[in-house]
A and B are shown apart, each in its own frame.
Chain A
Amino acid sequence: AQSVTQLGSHVSVSEGALVLLRCNYSSSVPPYLFWYVQYPNQGLQLLLKYTTGATLVKGINGFEAEFKKSETSFHLTKPSAHMSDAAEYFCAVSGTDSWGKLQFGAGTQVVVTP
Chain B
Amino acid sequence: DAGVIQSPRHEVTEMGQEVTLRCKPISGHDYLFWYRQTMMRGLELLIYFNNNVPIDDSGMPEDRFSAKMPNASFSTLKIQPSEPRDSAVYFCASSLAGTAKAYEQYFGPGTRLTVT
- The residues of A with any CB-CB pair to B shorter than 8 Å are 32, 34, 36, 41-46, 49, 51-52, 90, 94, 98-102, 104, 106-107
Contact = CB atoms under 8 A, between A and B. Distances in A.
Given A32-B103, A100-B102, A43 B42 contact: no
A100 B107 contact: no
Interface residues of B, number: 24
B102 A90 contact: no
A39 to B, nearest CB: 11
Interface in B67-101: 91, 93, 95, 97, 99-100
A98 B105 CA distance: 14
B100 A51 contact: yes
Contacts of A44: 43, 91, 93, 105, 107
Interface of B: 4, 31, 42-43, 45, 48, 50, 55-56, 91, 93, 95, 97, 99-100, 102-110
A104 B42 contact: yes
Given A100-B95, A100-B97, A101-B48, A43 B110 contact: yes
Contact of B31 (A46, A52, A94, A100): A100
Contacts of A32: 100, 103
